[in-house]
Each structure stands twice: as C-alpha cells, then as structure tokens.
Amino acid sequence: MPRPIRAFIDLFALRHNFSVARRHAGSARLWAVVKANAYGHGLERTVRALHDLADGFALIELERAIALREAGLTKPLLMLEGCYAASDVPLFIRHRLIPVIHRREQLDWLLASRWPAELPVYLKLNTGMNRLGFDTAALLNAKSALAGRHIDCVLMTHFADADGPRGIDWQLERFRVMTSGMSEPTSLGNSATILRYPESVGDWARPGIMLYGGSPFPQAKSAAELELRPVMTLQSEIVAVQGLAAGESIGYGCTFVADRPMRVGIVACGYADGYPRHAVTGTSILVAGQRTRTLGRVSMDKLCVDLTDLPPEVGAGVPVTLWGEGLPADEVATAAGTISYELFCALAPRVPVMEIG
C-alpha cells in the first residue's frame, strides 16, 4: 500500500473562487495568476479548469509558458518578470508571450528584435514597492521608444500594502502623477486590491491567492467570510498511537512534555511533504473530523497529534486533515508564523495529488 498522505485539488472550488474575483472586479479583465505551478496546485490542471473563464494567464517561468503553448493554449500569456536575457526575446515572439518590462535593458533587447507591433508589452512602474519598475523619466523614454515602433503598452504597478493598514492611496497617487496625460490601459489590482479596493483594479486585474482559497488578509477576514472555498486539502492518516505518562516527552528536542496521562497519534506527514516544520505545539488539525492540536516538533515524515480528549476508538487508520476542507490553510499558516501561499507552494512532489471536478 502507498503511504496514506495525499492532496485533493477541488476544481469546482477553483472555478467558484474565480467567479468571486470576477464579481468584485466588475468590468476589468482578469489575468489568472498561475506562477509557481499555480501556487502548488498544478499549472496544467489549473489552466484547464479556468480556460473558459480567464481572459489570460500570468506566470514567470518561460519554460512553463512554452509548454502551455505547445499543449495548444491560445489564451494570452503574461510574463510577470519579462525576459531575463536577450536570447529570450525570439522565444517570446514565437510563442506570443506578453512581457512585463521593468528595466531599460529589457526594452533595448525588445527594440533590437523584430518585435511584432500587434503584440503589446506591459511597462511596470515603481510606485513604492521598490523592487522592480521604471521611474517617471524612464517611463517617458520607454513609452516614446515603443510609440516609435507602434507597439502598444499597458501601464502596470504593484501595491506593497493593499492587504495592510497603509492601503493603496499613496501608491495610486504616485501612479496618477507618473501617468498624467497618458491614456494607455492599466493593470493595478492583485487579490487584496480586488477584494478591498475593487474600484482601483485598473483595466486588467491579477487575482492570485484568492483563486486558491486563501485570504489576502487572514487576520482581518477569513477566506470563508470572503466567500472563498479551499481548493487544496491535504490529508493523511494516523499510523500509530502512543501513550504518555505525566512528565514524558515526545519528538525531537523533547519540546513537548505531558502534564497528565495522554494518548498521542502519529500522523504520516512531515516537513518533507510540505507541512511547515516551524508549526508549534497547538497548531490546529482535524482527526476523524474533530479538531485537536499538534504536539512537539514536526519531523521529516511524521508529526504528533493529541488524541487524549477524543473517543478511544480514534486510532491507527483514522483520517487526518492537515489543512483544507474544514480547516483553513490560513489558520495553519498563521500558527506556523507564515502565510498560506508558502504552504501551498511547498507541497512536495512525493505527495500524490487527486483532482475533484
């Protein structure tokens, strides 16, 4: 028998979450963001599930974009970091990939090629994230160069705190100043912007984490409150049960010590499967559909759960949900001091994946 851990990907939930993005974004067109193997959910299955809904797909990895084209995908593909070398440009042209240009060298590579005038480019503006993007002077030069070749562009920026207290107004004002007098289409909104500032998403919005059932602001509003459904559910089983006397410890480092007699279940899941090693004692987990807690350190292939207050028949072979249906990934991530994005992306290749829908 194979090891009992598996991940379930609910494509019905994925399509539902896209419909939530569509409703909030109004008339804006939507790039479904599928970088990092669709946040760990599987690029090909995600594109297949959203093919008739999304206006296009946004990713970073050139080889994955080419694979989608070779598989027959004709929808627009947006490359969020553009070209990494001049040798990429012919591949962008051949496969009709739309680059996000964020520095002058990328623009020079494009202008030195036979870039087709009908294939647009995105110009990324640095309005305060301070990672990538043009300042005002460089933007004006880039627009002028593209206009000289009759190449259309979309003006894009990325918000640093759309999910936080500072919000987006300060960056929106910078964007308006930088683009004063310009009439090109815009792309502004990620998931947090779509849900919190739907009037400011621009002409092309870019939903990411919300598609996969994660909340962009889990401390303020849960995914369920945002009408989002979990797409990935990670499940396993209890493979053994141990009894602890008061004063005994369990796991590496002896970080958990029982203060009373306890029953402990050993679950076939560890950090080599993608469960966060830094999840602390007390992280929520579902055993036979009942909420309990983890105990001690997560090891490579196993973790421990508290069965003390569960019925005595709960033992080896009983199903366990690590996150997903019934237990939000955001909750597990928060307990581990991280975000659901990391949990999803860290799903290990050794975990079998099953599709629903």
122, 212, 221, 252: which one is catalytic? Answer: 252
Active site residue 124: no
Domain end residue (candidates: 179, 212, 245)? 212
pLDDT at 68: 98
Task: Tell me, yes or no, whether 187 and 252 share the same domain.
Answer: no
| pLDDT of 219 over the 80 cut | yes
Considering the domain boundaries, does residue 39 fall inside one?
yes
DSSP letter at 279? Answer: P
According to DSSP, the β-strands at 232-244 and 204-205 are: unpaired
| pLDDT of 139 over the 90 cut | yes
- Mean pLDDT, the chain, whole residue set: 97
pLDDT at 1: 77
| pLDDT of 76 over the 90 cut | yes
pLDDT at 178: 97
Considering the domain boundaries, does residue 222 fall inside one?
no
| pLDDT of 93 over the 90 cut | yes
pLDDT at 239: 98
Considering the domain boundaries, does residue 95 fall inside one?
yes
Percent of the chain with pLDDT over 70: 100
Task: Tell me, yes or no, whether 175 and 266 share the same domain.
Answer: no
Task: Tell me, yes or no, whether 82 and 169 share the same domain.
Answer: yes
Average pLDDT in the 89-96 region? 98
For position 175, which CATH number holds?
3.20.20.10
35, 124, 143, 302: which one is catalytic? Answer: 35
Considering the domain boundaries, does residue 290 fall inside one?
yes
Position 329 confidence tier, pLDDT thresholds 50, 70, 90 = very high
Considering the domain boundaries, does residue 176 fall inside one?
yes
Average pLDDT in the 169-189 region? 97
Considering the domain boundaries, does residue 108 fall inside one?
yes
Q: Rounded to an integer, what distance in angstroms lies between the CA atom of residue 205 and that of residue 29?
A: 6
Task: Tell me, yes or no, whether 262 and 329 share the same domain.
Answer: yes
Active site residue 35: yes
Position 324 confidence tier, pLDDT thresholds 50, 70, 90 = very high
The domain of 141 spans 11-212
Task: Tell me, yes or no, whether 144 and 172 share the same domain.
Answer: yes
Considering the domain boundaries, does residue 2 fall inside one?
no
Task: Tell me, yes or no, whether 188 and 244 share the same domain.
Answer: no
Task: Tell me, yes or no, whether 283 and 321 share the same domain.
Answer: yes
Position 104 confidence tier, pLDDT thresholds 50, 70, 90 = very high
pTM of the model: 0.96
Task: Tell me, yes or no, whether 131 and 38 share the same domain.
Answer: yes
Considering the domain boundaries, does residue 227 fall inside one?
no
Average pLDDT in the 312-329 region? 97
Q: Rounded to an integer, what distance in angstroms lies between the CA atom of residue 322 and that of residue 105?
A: 45
pLDDT at 106: 98
For position 320, which CATH number holds?
2.40.37.10
Q: What is the pLDDT of residues 42-70, one digit of tens each?
A: 999 999 999 999 999 999 999 999 999 99
SS (H, E, C) 138-193: HHHHHHHHHHHCCCCEEEECCCCCCCCCCCCHHHHHHHHHHCCCCCCCEECCCHHH
Average pLDDT in the 83-108 region? 98
Specify the number of domains making up the chain.
2
| pLDDT of 338 over the 80 cut | yes
